[in-house]
Structures are given as C-alpha cells and as structure tokens.
C-alpha cells in the first residue's frame, strides 16, 4: 500500500472517530440515516478494508476502500484527501458490480 494511502487511512479513521468536521457523509441526510450509525459502518469498512486503491492522483487524492460494514454487507467507500489534510467521504454505498473484480 502506498505511504500516502496508509496515511490517508489513519486520518480517515481518526476523523470518523472524532466527528470533528473533517469528514462529511453526504448520503446520511439524503437517506435519512443517523450519521452516527452510518459513521460506525464506514469506520468498520475502513478498518477491515479488503481493497484500498488510489483512483486518481488529485489533488485532491481520491481513494477507494472496499470493506464490510458491521452487518457484513460489503461497502464501497470513496474518500478525498485535500492538501490541507482534511478528509471527505463522498460515497459509502453497497459495493457496485463495477468494483467486484477488485475483491480478493
């Protein structure tokens, strides 16, 4: 795993745990899901990621993480890392067929 991706994972996990504004989950409001529940599933998917892949070099750096939520549903999480260190989760949805080939 590239150094930048490992550092991104560390910051993403910390930001999700702290909920200090560094991470925003756009789907939560749209789906009417409580953010704390959604964040817990995202944290679980990130911590147990089966796949971590840079999607482009940015800026901002865009990273795909594929991992299970707390109910073992496989999620597709896409995060952006900005130059100032902020991390923004822009997608956390059930894994689409587009990325099935990346699974081990």
- Is residue 16 situated within a structural domain? yes
pTM: 0.69
- Is residue 104 situated within a structural domain? no
Summarised one tens digit per residue, pLDDT across range 18-72 is: 544 334 455 444 444 444 556 788 888 888 899 989 888 778 888 899 999 999 9
Q: Which domain holds residue 73?
A: 3-98
Domain total for the chain? 1
- Is residue 66 situated within a structural domain? yes
Summarised one tens digit per residue, pLDDT across range 79-90 is: 887 777 777 778
pLDDT of residue 21: 37
Helix axis angle for 3-18 and 35-47, nearest 10°, is 150
- Is residue 55 situated within a structural domain? yes
């Amino acid at each position: 795993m590239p150094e930048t991706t490992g550092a991104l994972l560390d910051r993403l996990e910390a930001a999700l745990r702290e909920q200090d504004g560094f991470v925003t989950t756009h789907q939560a409001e749209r789906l009417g899901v409580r953010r704390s529940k959604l964040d817990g599933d995202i944290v679980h998917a990130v911590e147990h990621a089966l796949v971590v892949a840079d999607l482009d070099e940015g800026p901002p750096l865009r990273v795909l993480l594929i991992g299970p939520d707390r109910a073992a549903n496989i999620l597709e999480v896409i995060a952006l890392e900005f130059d100032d260190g902020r991390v923004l989760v822009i997608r956390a949805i059930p894994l689409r067929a587009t990325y099935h080939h990346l699974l081990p």
